[in-house]
Amino acid sequence: MKLKIYSDGGARGNPGPAAIGFVIQNAQDNVIFKAGECIGHKTNNEAEYAAIIAALKKAKELSGTELDCYLDSELVVKQLKGEYKVRNEKLAKCFLMVWSLQNQFKLVKYHHIYRERNKLADSLVNEALDKKFL
């Protein structure tokens, strides 16, 4: 089954309190799952990786086989596509987790999008942080 994933992660302060958000859509663009949750004290990039990791795990549970993943983190997308090296030790561990997860699917593609096209995932991040810290 083909799925679309929109994921986002963010930290208030960098590092600081962090959260993830992701949305999974079917081939007809219907939302079949969405989630947002706080993940502790992380950097923005760690949160971005945590979001795609959580989304990949959920996509597997939903029997996804081919994934189009949309992220607004150009760094993470370029690292996952092999265009940038992963130099940070913590991000390298996250990268390896994503690599391991993506090998469970027939096809995974990563796409960089601007924040305006990732509003739902972004709002899930902010809602999680607001609930926890307001």
Please write the tens of the pLDDT for every residue from 63-91.
999 999 999 999 999 999 999 999 999 99
Taking each helix axis from N to C terminus, what angle separates 119-133 and 44-61, rounded to the nearest 10 degrees?
110
The domains of the chain are located at 2-133
Question: pTM for the complete prediction?
Answer: 0.97
Domain 2-133 belongs in CATH node 3.30.420.10: yes
CA distance 25 to 34: 9
What's the CA angle centered on 121, arms 24 and 64, to 5 degrees? Answer: 15
d(CA 88, CA 42): 13
Pair 68, 4: CB distance under 8 Å? yes
- At 56 the pLDDT is 98
Residue 134's pLDDT is 62
Cα 89 to Cα 63: distance, rounded to the nearest angstrom: 31
